[in-house]
Amino acid sequence: MAIDRNRGTSRSARARAIRPILALLALPACAVFAPANDEALHPDQACSGALGDEVTYDVEFAAVVTPPHGARVLEVWLPLPPSDGVQQVTTSELASYPIVVEPRIAAEPLYGNRFAYFEFERPAGAQVIRHHFRVRVREVRWSVDPARVRDVEEWPASFAPYLKPVAAAAEDADYGAIVETLGGPGTSQPERLFTAMDWIDANLTYDHVQASLQASADHALSARRGHCSDYHGLCQTFGRSLGTPTRVTYGIHLFPKNSPSHCKFEAFLAPYGWVSFDLSETQKLITGIANDASLSSAEKARWTATARRRLKSGFRDNTWMLWTRGTHYDLAPKASRPVAVVRTIYAEADGEPLPDPDPANGAKREFGWMTVHKYTPSRPVADPFEDRDALASW
């Protein structure tokens, strides 16, 4: 029994248990690109960061989705990680069990995110979706020099999705008062953005229990707590209010952990293009440095300054892979409503969303679905946001 939302036919096909997903074509390798004028600016600009060490991961990723008893149709959208100049995905295989479904592959038009869509008719109990693939991931360093960043008075129309307010707080007077403290006339684009990062670092506390799971700037401002998506959702909103194109990028932290999903924040800084920042993980690293009794006060100050320098220079680690870009968009095929983000999967039963779990929240006892994941790297690799020694090269 298919659900038709004017998106065309999408019935379950009880055919192959495994379907190779090809044509995950890589974009040109990262190269420096310095546009000569504002007309040359475009959000599809190639990565300008310096590529560093690469790691190849064999990824076994599965989602176990449990629809309510008696559900007529279970729908699941699984993001397909893209190939680009930083990461390349190969040998991708999809399967479902116990009902065998041939997925429909589609890309949403706003940001180009691709999804494998599974539709299970009259599911009796939990369904398992498996994605096995290999991904090569590179470290990226942008070495942002604020003096080189050009202020853009009027962004081309192609940047409209990255400048549009996405939070109710953006219309609030208290929010406006905060934005005014982040820099006015005479301050440069990176100065305003880095001041916003400093404000978030000083005012938000990392918390899995009080977290929105939706990259919600409204939650971050009201609770002053949350996890990565709240930190970066607020930074996205600040950046847009300050005239900088910004976006949240969601992906997978390639280590065994309760919750594999993790997001980063990106800002478009001309001539660098999109630059990646990780506020929440940097704050956690700095908190760990401050609490390390083996370090002297001078050592703590030095490591903390280095961590902040790495943050603001632009850094993307090779222990994280990108799944989706952007927030607040329609899935493909369309779901019953737009989504704020897709952390690992999105699921609906008879047109109603199944609750989005946070497995790292110890207070959670009920889940509509859960992920199972295993990552096998081509060589030993340390988490640069937990291993303090990774800061030594900065």
* 15-67 residue pLDDT tens: 333 333 333 333 333 433 344 344 479 999 999 999 999 999 999 999 999 99
> Is the confidence at residue 382, as pLDDT, over 90?
yes
CA 219 vs CA 43, 198, 212, 233, 240: distances in Å: 28, 18, 6, 9, 17
- Measured in degrees and rounded to the nearest 5, phi and psi for residue 329 equal -150, 165
Query: Would you state the pLDDT for residue 14?
Result: 34
Instruction: Give tens-digit pLDDT for 137-180.
Output: 999 999 999 999 999 989 999 999 999 988 887 778 788 899 99
Q: Enumerate the domain spans of the chain.
A: 19-32+53-139+323-377, 140-320+384-393
| Residue 283 pLDDT > 70 | yes
The pTM of the full predicted model, rounded to 2 decimals, is 0.88
pLDDT tens track for 302-335: 999 999 999 999 999 999 999 999 999 999 999 9
Contact 57, 377 (CB under 8 A): yes
pLDDT bracket for residue 359 (50, 70, 90) = confident
Q: How far apart are CA 266 and CA 314, in angstroms?
A: 9
What is the CATH class of 140-320+384-393? Answer: alpha beta
pLDDT, tens digit, 9 for 90 and up, residues 61-108:
999 999 999 999 999 999 999 999 999 999 999 999 999 999 999 999
Average pLDDT, the chain: 89
- The model's confidence at residue 230, banded by pLDDT at 50, 70 and 90, is very high
Q: What does each C-alpha distance from 16 to 63, 99, 102, 106, 287 come to in angstroms?
A: 18, 11, 7, 19, 49
Percentage of the chain with pLDDT > 70?
90
Q: Which residue has the higher pLDDT, 240 or 367?
A: 240
